[in-house]
Amino acid sequence: MPYNTTPIRPLSRVKKIIAVDPDINICSNNAAFAITLATEMFIQYLAEQGHNMAKLDRKPRRNVQYKDLSAAVIAKDNLEFLDDTIPKTQPYKEIKHKAAETRAKLQGGKPSGDHADEAGQPNGKKQKSINGFGVLDVVKGAGDEEQAPAVGPGDGDVHMTG
């Protein structure tokens, strides 16, 4: 990060980003320069913290990986605001399982996941599905004319005369 009045980040790009912000009407060149230097210092700090996490790993590495940055965000309180931006990675199976649990809660407690597919099938065969819905669900739902129960007063069916 040289301080010979030439930042590493292009000053013109920072000025364009500042100009897009509707909250800022006018920004001087000195303020844009200070924002550029602060950005460089922040990037350097984040990289250092990620490097420290890489060194603390069981098998220390020289290269910083995404998991090092996410570990730094979790470990350092002053980087907590990046928790949504740099989340900890999760395996696809965990995400799929959580989505199935959420779907089951929304559908009223039906079993979910692989166990749900095997529940009503003989010999443990999986139920065929179309666009995420079981074939039996699609056929059953095709002719049903059920309506949702009324939630509150006045939310029922409207009777029309005429």
How far apart, in whole angstroms, are the C-alpha atoms of residue 34 and residue 37?
5
Q: Identify the CATH number of the domain defined by range 11-81.
A: 1.10.20.10
Q: What is the DSSP letter of 25?
A: S
pLDDT per residue as tens, the chain (162 positions): 556 667 788 888 999 999 999 998 899 999 999 999 999 999 999 999 999 999 998 888 889 999 999 999 999 999 999 998 988 888 899 999 999 999 999 987 655 455 544 445 555 556 666 555 555 554 554 444 555 555 555 555 666 675
Question: Which residue intervals of the chain are DSSP H helices?
Answer: 11-20, 29-56, 66-75, 92-106, 113-119, 135-143
Q: Which residues pair with 134 in a beta bridge?
A: 129
Scored b (16 or more CB within 10 A) or e, 53-92 reads: bbeeeeeeeeebeeebbbbbbbeeeebeebeeebeeeeee
**Which residue ranges does the chain devote to CATH 1.10.20.10?**
11-81
pTM (predicted TM-score): 0.55
